[in-house]
Amino acid sequence: GLIAYEKRKSDRATTNATERFWDREREANLTRRKDISNLPYINVPYDTLPLTAMPDSDEYNASVQQLQALSDKKILDLSGMTNTDLKLTYGAANLPVLMECDQNYLVLLRCLSRMANLLLEAGLEPEAETVLAYSLHIGSTIRSSYEQLASIYCHRKDYRKLDALIARAEALETSTKDALLSSLYTIRQQASGTKNTVFKELLSDTR
């Protein structure tokens, strides 16, 4: 019957997908090592970040120390690439190094997020803005970082930067994008009042 046919079709699709995966994986494992010296490694601008903004906070200083520990490490944003993708693109022998670079990137984002939270709690808004703006500049998709920066721009009535931030969020390719945009549209609407019909429409579209 129909159910049996659908099950066979589903099983075939699963088998084909599995075969395709293992074909790519076999090819990836045979890919020769490529030169990775010119990849877009991230250099943290330690001189422009507010590292000494909270000298009496042990928690803040611990985050700063963790951040500084990355200074001699290679950092790469490889989000969006699977291990198979990495091996196919750069060679199987480079996978351990690349995974370490990606792990360093995640550590960096977490450090910056913690620092921004602590700065905001202490009322140090300009310093928090510096940290958050840099975090987004290097590709962070952490929702709270977007929301915090949006709130800072609202507080300052800098709607041009707020709109640019929303445009940046609209270009993201993450599973949490819709929830993030809904939150940002709400912040924007509250900031500009109900006169802004464009954002009211956008807000209703995301619900």
The DSSP result for 131-178, as a single string, is: HHHHHHHTT---HHHHHHHHHHHHHTT-HHHHHHHHHHHHT---TTHH
Coil vs helix vs strand at 45? coil
Indicate the pTM of the whole model. Answer: 0.80
C-alpha span between 109 and 74 (Å, rounded): 14
Q: Specify whether the CB–CB gap between 188 and 162 falls below 8 A.
A: yes
Q: What is the mean pLDDT of residues 54-63?
A: 96
Confidence of residue 193 (pLDDT cuts 50, 70, 90): low
Q: Specify whether the CB–CB gap between 75 and 104 falls below 8 A.
A: yes
Query: What separation, in Å, do the N-terminal and C-terminal C-alpha atoms of the chain show?
Result: 39
Largest CA distance in the chain: 72
3-state percent breakdown (helix, strand, coil) of the chain, nearest 5: 70, 0, 30
Q: What is the mean pLDDT of residues 71-89?
A: 92
List, for residues 6-47, the tens digit of each pLDDT value.
767 677 777 778 888 788 888 888 888 899 999 999 999 999
Write the CB contacts of 40 (distance below 8 Å, at least 6 apart in sequence). 76, 77
The rounded radius of gyration (Å) of the Cα atoms in the chain is 22
